[in-house]
Homo-oligomer: A and B are copies of this chain.
Amino acid sequence: MRFDLPSDGIPTAWFNALPRLPEPLQPPLHPATREPVGPDDLAPLFPMALIEQEVSTAPWVDVPGEVLDILRLWRPTPLVRAERLERELGTPARIYFKDESVSPAGSHKPNTAVAQAFYNKAEGTARLTTETGAGQWGASLAFAAAQYGLECKVYMVRTSYESKPYRRVLMETWGAECVPSPVDDPDSPGSLGLAISDAVADAAGRDDTHYSLGSVLNHVLLHQTVIGLEAREQLALAGEERPDVVIGSCGGGSNLGGIALPFLEDEGVRLLAVEPTSCATLTTGRFDYDYGDTAGLTPLLPMYTLGHDFMPPSIHAGGLRYHGDSPIVSALVRSGRMEAVAAPQTKVFEAAVLFARTQGKVPAPETAHAIRAAVDEALAAKEAGEERVILFNYSGHGFLDLAAYDAYNRGELVDE
């Protein structure tokens, strides 16, 4: 059963979590001086509108009409009640998922890519650079750049560039250039940290070019709140007063923030982050200032971190392999407003296959972390004999991740 908003039902303002946090965020620090960074420090990389959003305390931020024009290509996205999954589990819980996999790139990432491309275009930027790991973010920015006629260059971690060509092909189909990183050492397998350095150096060195980041930062989570805002309306259409728990997988925190933040002020609504046990930032990391990249070139952010030199094992949910976390998500976990759990990838794929066989759709491995937690919550409701309402974000599809399913189906997937 699906609960659709009308095509003009996209939220016209983003929900800003910053003024609603238990306490104000600590500021980012300059990597050299360790002093709080100001707008001027960021201006070579970002347009002023995004720098302002990064620190804005306005409770709501208007979505520009030119952004809505593009979001309308796939939004509002469906909210679906997973009745066949419920039946299979024999749970009295009602499980809803918000389907962000219907975007052109196949995930939630374009929600912020479009906004970032728009603000850059509006301030005269001609060209964007970014880094990408498996390619989900690079593909989303390539799509968004094409919509506003911006050039786009994506630095892709060399091992992924060579072993996972399909998202590179997507980027090129949308007109972007995609090159392996590091650019100056063809023998290096590369890393996300090195790719960030390449993309930042490119943007800093050219007046017509800015840099774009796909998660972690406050303005990225702001843009993603369309997910949770739509889901609120759709749950009301489904006759639900409120969810008991809102679940998102968590790498940098953007899909989780997108679905969970709009429920921040709702009493009795649990917010739940799900991360891989092999990169368990929120559940085993320390809260501290740390760099966003491996090389230590970015500002220091106040967040849960495994250390910027942490090398996570090569799990299939590449989008969750990040040493740090969004400062907003970190603050919510630290204050107790948000919970966090970790799941091993074999249990995650078990839930993914259960979902595929009951609901049909094959989820991305990242998304399957949220499904794992939703299934566990539904089983807990069964145990307790309680009708709970579970909402999770179906952040992306698995059509480009079938090699991982092949490994699981053959019994070759292990927990690291």
Residues on A facing B (Cβ under 8 Å):
1-4, 6-7, 72-74, 80, 84, 102-104, 106, 110, 143, 146-147, 165-166, 169-170, 172-175, 353, 356-357, 359-362, 397, 399-400, 402-403, 405-406, 409
- CB of A233 to closest CB in B, whole Å: 14
Chain B neighbourhood of A84, CB < 8 A: 73, 147
Partner of A3, one of B7, B72, B106: B7
Known: A147-B360, A166-B402. 15 other contacts (CB 8 A): A2-B72, A4-B4, A73-B361, A74-B360, A84-B147, A103-B360, A146-B357, A165-B406, A169-B402, A169-B403, A169-B405, A170-B405, A172-B405, A172-B406, A173-B357
In the assembly, what is the distance between CA of A173 and CA of B405, in Å?
7
In the complex the two chains form, is B360's CB within 8 Å of A173's CB?
no
In the complex the two chains form, is B7's CB within 8 Å of A172's CB?
no
In the assembly, what is the distance between CA of A166 and CA of B164, in Å?
13
Chain B neighbourhood of A359, CB < 8 A: 73, 104
Chain B neighbourhood of A166, CB < 8 A: 399, 402-403
Residue in B closest to A407 when the chains form the complex, CB atoms: B169
Residue in B closest to A171 when the chains form the complex, CB atoms: B409
In the complex the two chains form, is A409's CB within 8 Å of B6's CB?
no
In the assembly, what is the distance between CA of A295 and CA of B165, in Å?
38
A-B contact pairs, 24 of them (CB 8 A): A2-B7, A2-B72, A4-B4, A4-B7, A73-B80, A73-B361, A74-B360, A102-B102, A104-B356, A165-B402, A166-B399, A166-B402, A166-B403, A169-B405, A169-B409, A170-B362, A170-B405, A172-B409, A173-B357, A173-B402, A173-B405, A174-B357, A175-B357, A399-B399
In the assembly, what is the distance between CA of A177 and CA of B402, in Å?
16
Partner of A356, one of B106, B174, B357: B174
In the complex the two chains form, is B409's CB within 8 Å of A361's CB?
no
Chain B neighbourhood of A106, CB < 8 A: 399
In the assembly, what is the distance between CA of A392 and CA of B82, in Å?
30
Q: Are A104 and B2 also in contact (CB < 8 A) when A166-B402, A402-B166, A409-B169 are? A: no
In the complex the two chains form, is A362's CB within 8 Å of B1's CB?
no
In the complex the two chains form, is B102's CB within 8 Å of A173's CB?
no
In the complex the two chains form, is A6's CB within 8 Å of B4's CB?
yes
In the complex the two chains form, is A400's CB within 8 Å of B403's CB?
no
Chain B neighbourhood of A357, CB < 8 A: 146, 173-175
- CB of A403 to closest CB in B, whole Å: 7
Chain B neighbourhood of A103, CB < 8 A: 360
In the complex the two chains form, is B362's CB within 8 Å of A173's CB?
yes
In the assembly, what is the distance between CA of A103 and CA of B353, in Å?
17
Residue in B closest to A362 when the chains form the complex, CB atoms: B173
- CB of A82 to closest CB in B, whole Å: 10
Partner of A399, one of B3, B6, B72, B400: B400
Chain B neighbourhood of A147, CB < 8 A: 84, 360
- CB of A238 to closest CB in B, whole Å: 10
Chain B neighbourhood of A7, CB < 8 A: 1-4
Chain B neighbourhood of A405, CB < 8 A: 169-170, 172-173
In the assembly, what is the distance between CA of A405 and CA of B84, in Å?
36
In the assembly, what is the distance between CA of A308 and CA of B356, in Å?
37
In the assembly, what is the distance between CA of A169 and CA of B402, in Å?
6
Partner of A353, one of B102, B173, B353, B399: B173
- CB of A367 to closest CB in B, whole Å: 14
Chain B neighbourhood of A362, CB < 8 A: 104, 170, 173
- CB of A26 to closest CB in B, whole Å: 38
